[in-house]
Amino acid sequence: MELTQNLHDLLSLRAELVLTAVILLLLGIELFSKGNKTLLRVVSLTGIGVVLILLFGESSTAQKLFIGSNGVPLMIIEPLGTFAKIIASISALFTILFMGINREDSTMVRREGEFMVLLLCTVLGVFFLSSSYDLILLYTGFELLSISSYALAGYNKRSSQSSEASLKYLVYGAASSAIMIYGISILYGLTGTTNIFIIQAILGSGALSGALLLMAIVFLLAGIAFKISAFPFHFWTPDVYEGAPTHFTAYLSVASKIGGFILLLRLILDLFFRKGFNSEILQPVSDLPWNDILIFISIGSMTIGNLVALWQKNIKRLLAYSSIAHAGYLLAGIAALNSTGLVAVLVYFAFYLLMNMGAFLVVILIKNEIHSEMLEDYNGIGSKLPLYAIALSIFLVSLTGLPPTAGFIGKFYILMALVNADLVLLAFFLFLNSVISLYYYVRVMKHLFISKPEKELGEAKQNVYGGVLTLVLAVPTIIFGIFFTPILRLAEAALKFYLP
């Protein structure tokens, strides 16, 4: 009987089940213990810890689940998806740790339980995005990630900025996912199924016309571009990043991006391209201008992101534009469409997690002391709060991609992939953009260390918990800049079913 088989397969989704159990447990604690904060934190952190252990345990296996009456699976647990799940879980772990320090609003602390529940729901959304092979299931995971994120962006309820951020995120997010589902509906019409494997087989037989298929793909990419904040769907990013509570901004910049990227990788590797590598370059299953589309989005995102960042006066907005630019760098790695590029994207993402979470952490810590996110108020922080200032500099240098930091390794691998794929123009743009980005990252450091404060800074001291967290993120950023082989091996292991 199929139902019993499916129920049995449901139990194989161990990480997802544990995560759901933790969500329900947190809800129960929130209800019955009047929001006991220590208990909430212990349960959520242990829960994510258990999920991470399970994920590492299954990180080298592949398992087909929910094989339907048509003989194709709905989900496959495989290493690439597990890599994305690990990134999302780690960023959720850090977000819960950051939550304790953020003092933007007092009522936020009281509603910590709800925040955790919604945060873990977004993680669950990424989990389903990572291992689903059915477009409707993928879309549902995508929506779970989005819907919980809309609520979380407006979590700082008493700030009009945060409310506006969530409204903007909701309106444009809903619109872009509606565009995406329209694309899926066209694809369904062309092939008669929503399953990725069957669609790939039909595309491979060459029975489909180009133009309508291209339309469907453009619509699909619109939804993905929104999630990874890539050009031309990047316009929401600065407002939402600025308005949302900072620890959630940190999470959004990493987890939401990995959700979008894993979906893009899934579509490229399993739907639109042939599995297995032919002479190092991926072969598209039907005749579509994939390279041109990806290169266009990539160059657009990095150029817009970096140019507009030059004029930003608010550090959160600056980091938002920098995250648009980073979406461009990562897309460049995918646009190479070769194995080096794919490994480079995963390596870069692992490092991006460290440096971006770190940068937002320091923004939270500094805001706690000086109550401002404006760059001109950062003058003189370097002498007052030396640890924070040095850590922020490390993260920014890494975001620029200079040695000896982790960011350099990531960018170096992407450049190498581009040169291997003969995309010299894109490589040139990437290099040029890194030079532009150097200017605004250094400007932040100038404010931190060189500019004299106009008025005397009040009481400001570094706290131990914040300092330890900063070090936890800053030290690996340097270490991985020198000993990067473990991450490289991890990325290669994640792609073991896709590499030659």
Residues that bind another protein (CB under 8 A): 2-3, 6-7, 9-10, 13, 20, 23, 27, 65-66, 68-69, 74-75, 107, 111, 114, 117-118, 121, 124, 128, 134, 136-137, 139-141, 143-144, 147-148, 150-152, 154-155, 157-160, 163-164, 166-167, 170-172, 174-175, 178-179, 181-182, 184-186, 188-190, 192-194, 209, 211-212, 215
CB of 206 to another protein, least distance (A): 15
d(CA 250, CA 98): 9
CB of 34 to another protein, least distance (A): 14
DSSP letter string, 235-297: TTHHHHHHHS-HHHHHHIIIIIHHHHHHHHHHIIIIIIB-SS-BTTBPPBSS---HHHHHHHH
Closer of 211 and 464 to another protein (Cβ): 211
Dihedral of CA atoms 275, 278, 282, 285 in degrees, nearest 10, equals -60
Closer of 19 and 495 to another protein (Cβ): 19
Q: What are the counts of helices (DSSP H) followed by strands (DSSP E) for the chain?
A: 22, 2
Residue 104: count other Cβ atoms within 10 Å of its Cβ: 18
In sequence order, the β-bridge partners of residue 76 are 64
CB of 113 to another protein, least distance (A): 9
- Token pair belonging to 381: 């922080």
CB of 189 to another protein, least distance (A): 4
- Token pair belonging to 232: 């031309």
CB of 468 to another protein, least distance (A): 30
CB of 287 to another protein, least distance (A): 16
Question: Strands 73-77 and 63-67, how do they pair?
Answer: antiparallel
Residue with tokens 């997802």, as numbered in its chain: 16
Contact call for residues 302 and 325 (beta carbons, < 8 A): yes
Closer of 217 and 347 to another protein (Cβ): 217
Closer of 112 and 373 to another protein (Cβ): 112
Closer of 266 and 326 to another protein (Cβ): 266
Closer of 2 and 292 to another protein (Cβ): 2
Closer of 21 and 53 to another protein (Cβ): 21
d(CA 252, CA 257): 7
CB of 310 to another protein, least distance (A): 27
Q: How far is CA 167 from CA 125, 157, 229, in A?
A: 20, 12, 17
CB of 186 to another protein, least distance (A): 7
34 exposure class (CB count in 10 Å sphere: 0-12, 13-18, 19+): exposed
CA–centroid distance for 414 within its chain: 17
Q: At what angle do helices 339-370 and 485-494 cross, to 10 degrees?
A: 120
Closer of 171 and 468 to another protein (Cβ): 171
CB of 192 to another protein, least distance (A): 4
CB of 210 to another protein, least distance (A): 10
Euclidean distance between the first and the last CA atom of the chain, given in angstroms as a whole number: 38
Closer of 149 and 338 to another protein (Cβ): 149
CB of 307 to another protein, least distance (A): 23
DSSP letter string, 405-443: SHHHHHHHHHHHHHHHTT-HHHHHHHHHHHHHHHHHHHH
Residue 4: count other Cβ atoms within 10 Å of its Cβ: 8
CB of 4 to another protein, least distance (A): 10
| 3-class state of residue 496 by DSSP | coil
Contact call for residues 191 and 217 (beta carbons, < 8 A): no
